[in-house]
Structure 1
Amino acid sequence: MKFTTTAAALSLASLASSTPVELSERQSCPKVYVFGARETTVSPGYGTAGGLVQQVQNAYPGTGAEAIVYPACGGQASCGGASYDSSASQGTAAVVKAVTAYNQKCPDTQIVVIGYSQGGQIFDNALCGGAGQTLSGNALKAVKAAIFMGDPHNQVGLPYNVGTCQAGGFAARPQGFKCSPADSSIIKSYCDSSDPYCCNGNDANSHQQYVNKYGSQALAFIKSKITA
Structure 2
Amino acid sequence: MIRIASLLLFGATLTAAQCPQVHIFGARETTAPPGYGTAGSVVSSIISAFPGATGEVINYPACGGQSTCGGVSYASSAVQGVAAVANQVNSFNSQCPNAVLVLVGYSQGGQIMDDAYCGGGDTNEGLTNTAIPISAAAQKKIAAAIFMGDPRHIPGLSYNVGTCQASGFAPRPAGFQCPFASNIQSYCDAAGYAIEYGSVALTFVKNKVNALLSGSGGTGTGTGSGGTGTGTGGGTGTGTVAEWGQCGGIGWTGATACQSPFTCQVINAYPMSVKQPP
TM-score bucket of the superposed structures, by smaller chain: 0.7 to 0.9
2:193 counterpart residue number: 210
1:222 counterpart residue number: 205
2:186 counterpart residue number: 189
Moved more, 171-180 or 95-104: 171-180
Name the SS for the 2:52 alignment partner: coil
Name the SS for the 2:152 alignment partner: coil
Show the 5 A alignment for 1:51-66: 51-66=41-56
Moved more, 166-175 or 75-84: 75-84
Runs of at least 5 residues in structure 2 that lack an aligned partner in the other structure: 1-13, 122-126, 214-278
Runs of at least 5 residues in structure 1 that lack an aligned partner in the other structure: 1-23, 193-205
1:152 counterpart residue number: 151
1:173 counterpart residue number: 172
- 1:198-227 CA-partner distances (Å, limit 9, x unpaired): xxxxxxxx4x31111100000000011112
Question: Taking every aligned residue pair, what percent have the same amino acid on both sides?
Answer: 56
Name the SS for the 2:197 alignment partner: helix
CA distance in 1, matches of 2:76, 2:194: 27
Name the aligned partner's letter for residue 144 of structure 1: A
Name the aligned partner's letter for residue 85 of structure 1: A
Name the aligned partner's letter for residue 204 of structure 2: F
- 1:140-195 CA-partner distances (Å, limit 9, x unpaired): 11111000000000000111100010110111111111114xx2110000001xxx
CA distance in 1, matches of 2:172, 2:145: 17
1:89 counterpart residue number: 79
2:133 counterpart residue number: 134
- 1:48-75 CA-partner distances (Å, limit 9, x unpaired): 1000111011111110100000000001
Name the SS for the 1:226 alignment partner: helix
Match for residue 105 of structure 1 among 63, 72, 95: 95
Give the superposition deviation at 1:119.
0.3
- 1:87-131 CA-partner distances (Å, limit 9, x unpaired): 000000000000000000000000001000000000000011113
CA distance in 1, matches of 2:135, 2:64: 28
Q: Work out which of the two has the higher radius of gyration on C-alpha atoms and give 1 or 2.
A: 1
RMSD: 1.2
Residue 48 of structure 1 pairs with residue 38 of structure 2: yes
Aligned residues: 189
CA distance in 1, matches of 2:72, 2:96: 34
CA distance in 1, matches of 2:184, 2:117: 9
